[in-house]
Structure 1
Amino acid sequence: MATPRRLPPLQSLVFFEAAVRHLSFTAAALELGTSQPAVSQRIGLLEEDLGVPLFKRGHRGVSLTADGLQLFNAVRDSLGSIGEAAAQIRSRRARQVLTVATDFGFAAYWLMPRLAALRALLPNLDVRIVTTQDPFDIRGEPVDIAIAFGAGPWPGCTAVPLFPEIVVPVCSPGFWAAHGLTGQAADLAKLPLLHLESAEPLRWLGWENWFALHGVATTGESHDLTLNNYPLVIQAAIAGQGLALGWTPLVDDLVRNGQLVAAFAQPATTAHGYFLVQPTAQRTPESVQRFRQWIVGECASALLHSPFLDKKGL
């Protein structure tokens, strides 16, 4: 079994390193906030522990011995590494970390494209995004704030509305052309539909409810596809696999850049929507306050410039 290495007194190494840099016990004492005899005593204890002199003491000051130089090189590098590590830890601690919970669709199609703008506005803020498709109680989760979909209220929380639920069927331009869509709701019921899997009761508008709003009875004759998160639904729509329900402003950029087109002229609205949710009893740090201010403004702007807004007259 290897014999463990015995370190010299660690505090004495700090005194030693300062004395070498200054080549003066008096100057080292001033830096360390102590007395010259205290530094001399610490150096003496270190030399006693090592069994060798580390300094040559003369009338005009001190200089290093060969053993002293060897020790100083090691101590300098070690203390430098420790100091750098400590600085990095303090820097990380000084940075604010904001944990935001939301669903896959909002994270992928609305929040992620705007994170660069948020980081430019709040450069000292580190954002951590947690995604889930299921409802959850933010009061029992290690998150600072949530962007949640529903009708509210959320017990024990404040909820600020961000977007109402505005839904329009969307598909790829190729799918539109291949099926000769006329913009009639009844025509859509015969085509492959893309569904977002959800536990009952459904928290968002589904195809069955969308057709019911437009007085269309579904026959179940279409070859549908069900996926368990919204980005997969949208990717399937872009790939021409079927019709998807598009939530504005989540799909607005995809419509603007031509990856998707509206398959029906009139968006449907419900009493649901996205809300900014925060526990009432939770202290609101500055990072959360500034994020709230930023996202409320960004959402208002996005809704104002939605390509479907004028069709609703909102």
Structure 2
Amino acid sequence: MASSLLHQHLHELSVFDAAARAGSFSAAGRELGMTQSAVSHHVATLEAVLGFRLFARVWRGVALTDSGAVLFDGMKNGLAAIGAGIEGARAAARQRQFTVVTDFAFASFWLVSRLAELRRISGGSDASIVTSQASAAVDLSIGDVAVTFGVQAPKGWEITRLVDEEVVPVVSPQLAARQGLFAADGAARVPLLHLDTPGRDRWLSWPDYFSLAGLAPAPAGADLSFNNYPLLIQAAIAGQGVALGWRPLVDDLIDRGLLVPTLGTVRNRSRGYDLLVPPRGGANPVIRDFKRWLQAEFGQLAPLETMVIIG
């Protein structure tokens, strides 16, 4: 009888639980997205099946009868078991999935080309990459680890610097071959490609670069602005102007001959790409392997000519 009641009247039991906790059919209805009359109907149906009253109507609400209180207490254990089952299922699902949270630029220009290695590291788990357009906007709570640029790690998280901010101007090979691309003082004679997104003070800009490199500010010209770094880099590859290239994002493009570094590199040691690991995440062998792999990869970055180091 009990098993049959549970399967046939699970919805009525859940409505009863909400009403018992709230002490009001109206409040239970608001919680469940139902009308007061619908809650009352479901409770009445359950009372008819059981053959006894569950609630006594009182001023401004309802109160459990003795029989209703016994049922409510018994349901607590069952609901606790269901909750434990749900959490267990979630834990099992997490063990089958390894999720990396990062910004769109890092995923597009660096991580995607190394998916085979990511799958190898994750072993039997399903590898997943979750991105946001801006590194500062990444939701750290939805991943096992995060690779972020200039993001403050939450309290208790482990933070490992992978690479300092390192910026070099890059152009297409066609533009690089053009005579007089840069003036004697270093100022570009072609459009500058700017990244214009929220939080843009968190990374080097063209004025920052010229100042740190000891070059004259670029004259006003027909510059172009983009709110998306991958799009900006595509414009540089297409010969639309000169872009600031962040390492290691542009390294593969330089190696493939799609972009050519010009002038010199500015390195800012006060920020860069970091690996963020939540508390207790370091005990996960997949995360440990992922960390070692990233450190090895970034430790092999070939040096470019460095003009100035700050920080």
TM-score (norm 1): 0.61
Partner secondary structure for residue 245 of structure 1? strand
For residues 41-78 of structure 1, give each alpha carbon's deviation from its aligned partner in whole angstroms, at most 9, with x where no partner exists. Answer: xxxxxxxxxxxxxxxxxxxxxxxxxxxxxxxxxxxxxx
For residues 238-269 of structure 1, give each alpha carbon's deviation from its aligned partner in whole angstroms, at most 9, with x where no partner exists. Answer: 000110011122211211221111121x2001
Corresponding residue of 1:165: 165
For residues 264-305 of structure 1, give each alpha carbon's deviation from its aligned partner in whole angstroms, at most 9, with x where no partner exists. Answer: 1x200112110001223657422222222222222222x2x3
Corresponding residue of 1:109: 109
Partner secondary structure for residue 177 of structure 2? helix
**Contact 1:105–1:231 (8 Å) recurs in 2:** yes
1:256–1:282: structure 2 CA closer, same or farther, 3 Å change rule? closer
Corresponding residue of 1:222: 221
Say yes or no: does 1:278 pair with 2:265.
no
Q: Which amino acid aligns with 1:113?
A: S
**Contact 2:164–2:271 (8 Å) recurs in 1:** yes
For 1:4-153, list aligned pairs within 5 A: 96-134=96-134, 135-136=136-137, 138-139=139-140, 141-150=141-150, 152=152
1:312–1:253: structure 2 CA closer, same or farther, 3 Å change rule? farther
Corresponding residue of 1:58: none
For 1:202-221, list aligned pairs within 5 A: 202-218=201-217, 221=220
Query: Following the alignment from structure 1 to structure 2, what is the Cα–Cα distance between the partners of residues 310 and 214?
Result: 10
Query: Following the alignment from structure 1 to structure 2, what is the Cα–Cα distance between the partners of residues 107 and 185?
Result: 35
Q: What is the aligned-residue identity percentage?
A: 39
1:185–1:220: structure 2 CA closer, same or farther, 3 Å change rule? closer
Corresponding residue of 2:241: 242
Q: Which amino acid aligns with 1:239?
A: A
1:249–1:311: structure 2 CA closer, same or farther, 3 Å change rule? farther
For residues 91-139 of structure 1, give each alpha carbon's deviation from its aligned partner in whole angstroms, at most 9, with x where no partner exists. Answer: x959731111111221111111111123235442321111113314755
Query: Which region of structure 1 is more displaced relative to structure 2, 93-102 or 270-279?
Result: 93-102
TM-score (norm 2): 0.62
Query: Following the alignment from structure 2 to structure 1, what is the Cα–Cα distance between the partners of residues 235 and 109?
Result: 15
Query: Following the alignment from structure 1 to structure 2, what is the Cα–Cα distance between the partners of residues 98 and 175?
Result: 42
Say yes or no: does 1:257 pair with 2:256.
yes
Query: Which region of structure 1 is more displaced relative to structure 2, 233-242 or 176-185?
Result: 176-185
1:96–1:184: structure 2 CA closer, same or farther, 3 Å change rule? farther
1:243–1:297: structure 2 CA closer, same or farther, 3 Å change rule? same
Q: 1:185: how far off?
A: 5.3
Aligned residues: 217
Partner secondary structure for residue 169 of structure 1? strand
1:178–1:208: structure 2 CA closer, same or farther, 3 Å change rule? same
Structure 1 segments (4+ residues) deviating >6 Å: 309-313
Say yes or no: does 1:180 pair with 2:180.
yes
Q: Which runs of 5+ in 1 are unaligned?
A: 1-88
1:137–1:261: structure 2 CA closer, same or farther, 3 Å change rule? closer
For residues 171-201 of structure 1, give each alpha carbon's deviation from its aligned partner in whole angstroms, at most 9, with x where no partner exists. Answer: 001112235335855332x420111122246
Q: 1:162: how far off?
A: 0.5
Query: Following the alignment from structure 2 to structure 1, what is the Cα–Cα distance between the partners of residues 308 and 116?
Result: 30
